[in-house]
Structure 1
Amino acid sequence: MHEREPGIRQDVPEEDILDQPYPPKVAIYPRCPKPEHAIGLRAHTDAGGIILLLQDDLVPGLRVSERRGNGFHHSFKRSQAVHEPWRSD
């Protein structure tokens, strides 16, 4: 994939790109066949440099929590970009 992108060095072996602390990955969550049984996900972290959240019209928003446990709810608009750098404290 990186060989076809303009402006990317051509001499970087693919294993050097994939051998990173957070290598690129794609997660697809298909529609639940029994949505009445869905209770959501447990608290978790999606680690990565860039996360694309592709929403449909049925999902009202996303709950984002800080490490201290203080959470907030934010409804993202379609095509909205959000950058939240990880805190070191």
Structure 2
Amino acid sequence: MPGYRCSVKERMLYSSCKSRLLEQVERDYHIQVVKKLEIDSGDELTEQYLYEEIHPKQHAHKEAFAKPRGPAGKRGNKRLIKGVGENGVNS
């Protein structure tokens, strides 16, 4: 699809025909289209680009989420809450 270099009518025609074309291909050739690509120009469609889209690089090392440290020194001392006794008075 050439992007905004074509008229609105041509873009609407493309948009309305795209799903019908995919349905026809899947039905006639008994294949399932699992990935669709849209590009602005044919220059982007290279063998390397297609290979990377089909076989994405897997990252060998996944970084774990590093929990940030809390604020230093601003919380004060920890407070302990005493339990309430039988007669409702703190013990």
Could you state the TM-score of these two structures normalised by the residue count of structure 1?
0.22
Instruction: Identify the structure with the greater helix proportion.
Output: 2
The TM-score, its normalising length taken from structure 2, stands at: 0.21
Larger relative contact order (Cα-Cα within 8 Å, sequence gap ≥ 6):
2
Q: Which has the larger radius of gyration?
A: 2
